[in-house]
Amino acid sequence: MTKNPFAGYKPFPDQPPLIADYIAKRSTAESVVDGPAPWDIGALPAELLTPLPAWLDAVCRWLNQTYAWQPQRVIPPCWTEHENLPYEIAALAFSRSDAYAEAGSVVVWHEQYDRFLTRMNNVLGKAGDECRVGRHDSCPARFQLAAWSPSTSA
């Protein structure tokens, strides 16, 4: 008997139950839930935000294990310290659930994943090489951003 070559493939990490329930409540036609989308991490209440880091970390590990054959495809372990990455990873993770409902959407999701990698590598630049081996340094552009005076509203 031949061994099944797909037997060792790991499934995509399940959404935290609290988040899955929130999504289900937002999705019903008679929904009274008028909260932010679960991928809008900056707008989520603390209750919904709490389970996200562990799940998104599991998603990053799964993506790295499944797709990262080249160094530039590795999401660095310090992804939470790169302020744009959690937003992008959350959107990518939540969109995967919807995409896998139809075969054509899966192809689009993979195209989105490739675009995510391009944006991630553009943002990380050369610092990404250090981050990927566990040597994160704070955002190199911070010194430039600090030069901007605080905005004032008129």
Q: Where are the domains of the chain?
A: 38-135
- 58: pLDDT strictly greater than 70: yes
Can you give the pTM of this predicted structure? 0.84
Please list the helix, strand and coil fractions of the chain in percent, rounded to the nearest 5, in that order. Answer: 55, 0, 45
The answer to whether the Cα torsion of 15, 18, 19, 22 is positive or negative is: positive
Read off the pLDDT of residues 95-152 as tens digits, 9 standing for 90 and up.
998 898 888 899 999 999 999 999 999 988 888 888 888 888 776 666 666 666 776 6
